[in-house]
Every structure is written in C-alpha cells, then in structure tokens.
Amino acid sequence: MIKAVIFDMDGLLIDSEPFWQESETKVFSSLGLDVNKKMFEQFMGKRIDEVVDTMHKITPWNQVPKEQVVEDIVENVIRLVIEKGEALSGVYETLSNLKNSPYKIGLASSSKMKIISAVLKKLQIQDYFEVVHSAEYEEYGKPHPQTFISTAKMLGVQADECLVFEDSLNGVISALAAGMKCIAIPEKEATNLNKFIIANKTLGTLNEFELGLLKTL
C-alpha cells in the first residue's frame, strides 16, 4: 500500500531542463567541448558532478578544474531559475491535493541542495514537503537507487510503500531499482519515449494524476 509520494524536481516540478542545457552548453563550449541533444537526454537525472566527470573522460581539458566547471554550471542554473523559473502544469494542484491527504510527501533530486532551495523558494512550495533530499549527499546519484532509499527512510516508510514521480529515464530506473512504484512524466522534448514503458504508468502532465490512482498501483 502506498504511504508516501516522492517527487523528482528538475523537469517535473519546474521546467528547468532548458536551464541545464543552456548552462552546460555555455560552460562546456567555453572549454572547447561539443554537446548535443542526445548527450543531454543521457545526462538527464544525473548529478552534475557525474556529468562533468563523464565529459572530462570523453574530451579531457586542463585549463579549469572540474570542481570549478561544476560550480559555474550550478550558478548559471540558479540564475536562470530565479529569472525565468515557472512551475509546470499541475504542480500546485497535485501538491495541494496530496497535502490534504494521508500521504507523506518528499522530494528527491539529483540537483545540489542550493539549486533545490532556489527552486522551492521561486515556486513557493517549500511547505508541501516533509523531506527534501539531494543526491549530493549520497555516494552515487541516479540511476543508483540510494537517493530514493534514503528519502524513504527519512519519511519513515518502506521503499515498497512509495510512489515516485519522475521525468527522466535515469530517475525511473533509480525508483524501480529502489523497489518503488513509479509514474513517469517524460520531458516534453524527449526522443526516447519508448523506453519509459518500464514505468508503472506514464502520464503527459501532472494534471492527469488523480489520488485514486495510488490505490491501483
């Protein structure tokens, strides 16, 4: 029986994937690296330090430390969140309905906590979540399941009592590997939609979600 609902953040609560793509393109291009749409889809849901490590292995650079590259991307994302960030369709209604229900609500994101804080403040949704957790505090990020497993423990529930909302394939894999149910809401420009069949259910937006669905999973 589902007792808790855990939300991803980027691309699910806020349309921030364009912010990540813009920031990564800007910083990686300054280092002479090429980036493309296929790369961005592979990176979705992953921690930015792991993305930078991967890019460094593909095309090593020496002029800027990897830690500085991570920081430059993160700061640019935060700037864009503050300037342009908006909640995606159905976010406020879904959070409000869950807040008025017996279900616990958590957030588990691959983003660093300072990005999470910026998003929660910008959208004014801090008070909806009992637990907010970042993969930066885990040894491994998504698609490893530990971020979700830790969030369940913080919520005081078992992994198999959780439903996860995810927009990335890496996030769906992470949730299922944790032993949780998962509803996928793929990013609107995703080209790998056929792979989301592994999720328990796929929706177009959060507007399509109804609380009664939790009893059927």
Residues noted as catalytic: 8, 10
Helix (H) or strand (E) holding 119: helix 113-123
Contact 132/13 with Cβ under 8 angstroms?
no
Cα angle 153-159-160, degrees, rounded to a multiple of 5 = 150
Cα–Cα distance between 180 and 158 in angstroms, integer? 9
Q: How many CA atoms lie within 13 A of 182 on its CB side?
A: 25
Q: Which DSSP state fits 90?
A: T
Angle, in degrees to the nearest 10, between helices 66-84 and 17-30: 140
DSSP letters along 47-89, please?
A: -HHHHHHHHHHHS---SS-HHHHHHHHHHHHHHHHHHH--BPT
Q: Which DSSP state fits 32?
A: T
Q: Which DSSP state fits 112?
A: -
What lies within 8 Å, CB to CB, of 210 at 6+ separation is none
